[in-house]
Structure 1
């Protein structure tokens, strides 16, 4: 009986796998591999629908092209039984990104398609939806001074084991309201005892206290949370049940928004790490992805000793994008808390970018609907120093073509080239 049940289970699994494999696959691209155009130039999206490597000859393919994930500029349906070429042509009329969405037989996502290709239209001319507040840096320096005056840090540094390459330390410091800020520090075992310093904030989510490493450098990873979540008791899920942390407190004003203490905590940890004797005293690089990319921009603006910045698909950019008829970057803050309009300017990484003069590299995914490409470019165009941006024309937020090449290689090469 057990063998029969096992055989049935295997058969059902095989059938399920076969069904998945038989799902149609849409390939889409622009007529230019780089997918960047000038205003007024025609953009041609070319696509094919295949199943197991063979063109699908039945079904309805629906496509829509939007301007920056907002206004629908073009819609068209294709009967795959016909011989109609699967392509659409459209002309970009303003700086931004044209996003192609597709659906197969009325379905999107796992059963069909959604964002599949995009084209940048003079993205170097994209402007953020709001200007930086004139007192942006002064405001945060003032709030940090208040923290230093009212709450002594009382840093606690505890050994936290080691990896084959690094010794690890858990760092804790006091914060407002009796809370704590925490970070993980990894210091190489080998070398001359003086190392470049890389500082990071993790992407969104519960990462605990990370001890991330980088070859030949000491690395500090700072959490955004004022607490430790117990994974066994699902406390992170409970904490976010009613409202995600990245919206919490925004309805109660600027100093009550959740990232208020996160930013001040980052500044406190930066002050500590610069006192470590292992730091070489000259190389200080902010690195991050998504939420961490947004914080990398914030750190690079607020820390005068920052020597380089590497931000992969940075979040927290262009909160006021809707004023320019664009979708804002993650977490689309004002769509959830519209009353936070003016205070949100003090949490907009694109505004912090206007104060960054160190060398910088940003990575942007053209089909990223979370950290939208226009929001990343809003930040990039505000950078004041030497800068470079790496395009992923068919890359989304952790999906799409050449994901690992897009995320890792350009950033690593940039970091290495900026260590003196």
Structure 2
């Protein structure tokens, strides 16, 4: 057995203990989801100009966790026929500090005949603000906001924003509500997993190099957003246990068994942001149909090969055995 095979075996046998009681976790999320289940989205949609004649774009806003207006693109092919069947929808979330970008970023999904609902993450690089109260100090970045008060925390807000993004996408014209996939990389991969675990409207998940997996390990080792939490704890060591408990409610290590739909995950073995020890810890606890793509020589990146793998995975889910 060579070194690559040994490493694969090690990762495949990685089963750290959950960091929260499953009943406590499920009860919390059932109450949170019920509280927001009947809250209106207050959705507003207006056409947006595009230089691409075969693309129609609408700028959509919907209310997130705390009535923060969340901005999104709804993108579809231009001038569909009146008798056209509803189409699958790809809901996408950006990586940390990023934004939803320009609509043409998602042209490959339109080429497959899909629609796209591309969402900002509050407060980061896009148009979306953040109405959460800033009750205490934070470390540079966003994720330590409200980290000791779960119902006023940044993680609670962005997760519920993502859950409600799926609800908003399901109401767009031309969308097949039974064929909604959540897709993203890094932060976007983590939010895709969380949305898939918490919103039953999700039919498939592609989570590339996902964050928010085995978060206690991440705050010890990661060099990106979870390091912000490490720096916060460095300043406030007396809050360590409280913060670890807080993170456990959003950790895919704990939420993985809730996923009940097909999921593809990718992992770069040289990734120091979303390390394989975190991703495999969550992946190994998933009970749904699942696939993983290993890239032993990749870091924190999603290469073209993996982008195509994600496309082929969703084609199998939504269009049977179509091959290319």
Same fold (TM over 0.5): yes
Alpha carbons 1:171, 1:183 under 8 Å: kept? yes
In the aligned structure 1, how far is the partner of 2:218 from the partner of 2:62? 38
In the aligned structure 2, how far is the partner of 1:411 from the partner of 1:382? 21
Q: 1:301 to 1:148 in 2, by over 3 A?
A: closer
Alpha carbons 1:329, 1:372 under 8 Å: kept? no
Matches within 5 A, 1:172-187: 172-175=61-64, 179-187=68-76
Say what the alpha-carbon RMSD is for the aligned residues: 3.0
Q: 1:241 to 1:302 in 2, by over 3 A?
A: closer
Is 1:262–2:158 an aligned residue pair? Answer: yes
Gaps spanning 5+ residues in structure 1: where?
A: 1-30, 38-118, 231-239
In the aligned structure 2, how far is the partner of 1:358 from the partner of 1:314? 17
Is 1:375–2:278 an aligned residue pair? Answer: yes
Matches within 5 A, 1:15-164: 32=2, 35-37=4-6, 119-128=7-16, 130-132=18-20, 133-147=22-36, 152-162=40-50, 163-164=52-53
In the aligned structure 2, how far is the partner of 1:366 from the partner of 1:228? 27
Alpha carbons 1:158, 1:171 under 8 Å: kept? yes
Compute the displacement of 1:330 (Å).
5.6
Other-structure match for 2:175: 279
Compute the displacement of 1:372 (Å).
0.2
In the aligned structure 2, how far is the partner of 1:168 from the partner of 1:156? 14
Q: 1:137 to 1:393 in 2, by over 3 A?
A: same
Other-structure match for 2:207: 311
Q: 1:393 to 1:203 in 2, by over 3 A?
A: same
User: The residue matched to 1:304 in structure 2 has which SS?
Assistant: coil
In the aligned structure 2, how far is the partner of 1:363 from the partner of 1:137? 26
In the aligned structure 2, how far is the partner of 1:376 from the partner of 1:229? 27
Q: 1:178 to 1:328 in 2, by over 3 A?
A: same
The answer to which structure has the higher helix fraction is: 2
Q: 1:389 to 1:229 in 2, by over 3 A?
A: closer
Q: 1:222 to 1:134 in 2, by over 3 A?
A: farther
Is 1:243–2:131 an aligned residue pair? Answer: no
Q: Which of residues 314, 317, 324 in structure 2 aligns to 1:415?
A: 314
In the aligned structure 2, how far is the partner of 1:141 from the partner of 1:198? 25
Q: Higher mean Cα deviation, 290-299 or 217-226?
A: 217-226
Deviations 1:253-312 (A, max 9, x none): 212221211122222232222123411232111111110000111011112132211111
User: The residue matched to 1:306 in structure 2 has which SS?
Assistant: coil
Compute the displacement of 1:219 (Å).
1.0
TM-score (norm 2): 0.79
Q: 1:330 to 1:318 in 2, by over 3 A?
A: farther
In the aligned structure 2, how far is the partner of 1:241 from the partner of 1:165? 45
In the aligned structure 2, how far is the partner of 1:184 from the partner of 1:395? 30
In the aligned structure 2, how far is the partner of 1:279 from the partner of 1:244? 35
Deviations 1:40-73 (A, max 9, x none): xxxxxxxxxxxxxxxxxxxxxxxxxxxxxxxxxx
Q: Which of residues 212, 221, 226 in structure 2 aligns to 1:332?
A: 226
Q: Higher mean Cα deviation, 289-298 or 335-344?
A: 335-344
In the aligned structure 1, how far is the partner of 2:65 from the partner of 2:194? 20
In the aligned structure 2, how far is the partner of 1:160 from the partner of 1:387? 37
Give runs of ≥4 in structure 1 deviating > 4 Å. Answer: 175-178, 226-230
Deviations 1:8-29 (A, max 9, x none): xxxxxxxxxxxxxxxxxxxxxx
Alpha carbons 1:168, 1:186 under 8 Å: kept? yes
In the aligned structure 2, how far is the partner of 1:415 from the partner of 1:329? 31
The structure with the largest alpha-carbon Rg is 1
In the aligned structure 1, how far is the partner of 2:89 from the partner of 2:171? 12
Q: Which of residues 192, 214, 232 in structure 2 aligns to 1:296?
A: 192
